[in-house]
Amino acid sequence: MRRIVKLTVCAVRLYSGGRPPVPLGGRILTDPDDIFQHNMWDHVQWTEEEREKAQQKAEENSKEKIPVEEQSKYDREAHKYWDRFYEMHQSKFFRNRNWLFTEFPELLPPDAAGMYTGSLGIESGNGEKPQPCSSSTLTSETDTFPGQHAAFRILEVGCGVGNSVFPIISTIRGSKAFLYCCDFSSRAVELIQEHPDYDPAVCHAFVRDICDPTYPFPFPPESLDIILVVFVLSAIHPARAPGVVKSLAGQLKPGGIMLFRDYGRYDLSQLRFKKGQCLSENFYTRQDGTCVYFFTKDEVHHLFSNAGLEEIQNLEDRRLQVNRGKKVVMHRVWMQSKYRKPYLISASV
């Protein structure tokens, strides 16, 4: 039979120059007089007064909630709101996420230039080595699906118009990697497919509602090395999020990794909401009908660990955003996490 063994170390991919950069940046504000020297400061510690003030603002803007009878439309018609959003903004609203490979070097395929993969000699109790993250296994020799011959497969869910997709395509082109990307906005997927850099040889974009488990994926279960979930779960009703993560976890190979980044509790954008925009605790709707939830570290941990994944990283990214022209300082809070599917080790009974 097979048993699940949790390992504390996974196959790693390092920059040729050594260790990857410090997570979440390294620009630390040590002298308050220097605050307007840069647009952003990393690893900012809040005072107790700042935390209490943020909590009070969130409590204040959530006192008046949208009537229950009106709330269901934001979930039921979410695709309409996002289609309208992308139709209006096209690909001009968000910038390309060129920071992805700094914070998530796991996205780099093992055969990319300047990288290497190693299992670090990890063995199970019976002397067997776990399967590396980058190995390729198909459910059947007769399976036919996009990217079936790839040795390294990535899925981005909630890909929007490709702000992560195109930096990834540019990086993996020429390697043995393949990228899948999906969004439940058909307009967003159309914009990706119409982009001049879209290449079906290395990427397959498709429409899928990740909240609906009956929607098929264009690849077999347990065939992905990496799943990228960036600013996606916050747009889903928090009651649906556990089912989404569990479903996605089923698509990862043993040893595969889910990469997560999203809004954190008391981020500036949460505190800016007005009364009457709150759907439930820490869950709001914007003026355009799209929704957003604000996570805590504990919530993120429970969300992924309850789906059978083990924690590699779970960080609260607190930064100080500075408008040097207006001399305005703003607190930003994001969550950044990495969770791995445990390896399956063959064991005799």
Higher pLDDT, 228 or 319: 228
Q: What is the C-alpha to C-alpha distance for residues 26 and 41, in angstroms, rounded to an integer?
A: 8
CA angle 277, 283, 284 (to 5 degrees): 25
Kindly indicate the confidence band of residue 284, based on its pLDDT and cuts at 50, 70 and 90: very high
Neighbours of 115 (CB within 10 A): 16
Kindly indicate the confidence band of residue 143, based on its pLDDT and cuts at 50, 70 and 90: low
pLDDT of residue 54: 95
Burial 159-186 (b: 16+ CB within 10 A, else e): bbbbbbbbbbbebbeebbbbbbbbbbbe
Q: Per-residue pLDDT for 232 more than 70?
A: yes
Pick from 68, 85, 91: nearest CA to 290: 85
pLDDT digits (tens, 9 = 90+) for 85-116: 777 765 555 566 778 998 999 999 887 644 43
CA angle 50, 333, 325 (to 5 degrees): 80
Please provide the average confidence, as pLDDT, over all residues in the chain.
81
> Hey, CA dihedral for 295, 335, 337, 174, is it positive or negative?
positive
| CB-based contacts of 318, cutoff 8 Å, min separation 6 | 43, 44, 45, 46, 264, 331, 332, 333
Helices (H) and strands (E) in the chain, counts: 9, 15
Q: Per-residue pLDDT for 17 more than 70?
A: no
Which of the 8 DSSP states describes residue 82? H
pLDDT of residue 89: 64
Q: Which of 21-30, 203-212, 233-242, 301-310 shows the lowest per-residue confidence on average (mean pLDDT)?
A: 21-30
pLDDT of residue 88: 72
pLDDT of residue 42: 82
- Kindly report the pTM of this predicted structure: 0.82
pLDDT of residue 320: 85
pLDDT of residue 154: 98
Instruction: Provide the 3-class DSSP secondary structure of residue 332.
Output: strand
Q: How many CA atoms lie within 13 A of 58 on its CB side?
A: 20
Instruction: Provide the 3-class DSSP secondary structure of residue 119.
Output: coil
End-to-end CA distance of the chain: give it in Å, rounded.
7
Q: Per-residue pLDDT for 296 more than 90?
A: yes
Q: What is the C-alpha to C-alpha distance for residues 246 and 221, in angstroms, rounded to an integer?
A: 12
pLDDT of residue 69: 79
pLDDT digits (tens, 9 = 90+) for 154-175: 999 999 888 899 999 999 999 9
Q: What is the C-alpha to C-alpha distance for residues 310 and 264, in angstroms, rounded to an integer?
A: 21
Which of the 8 DSSP states describes residue 137? -
Q: In sequence order, what DSSP letters do the residues of 267-316 get, joined into one string? A: -HHHHTPPTT-EEETTEEE-TTS-EEE-B-HHHHHHHHHTTT-EEEEEEE
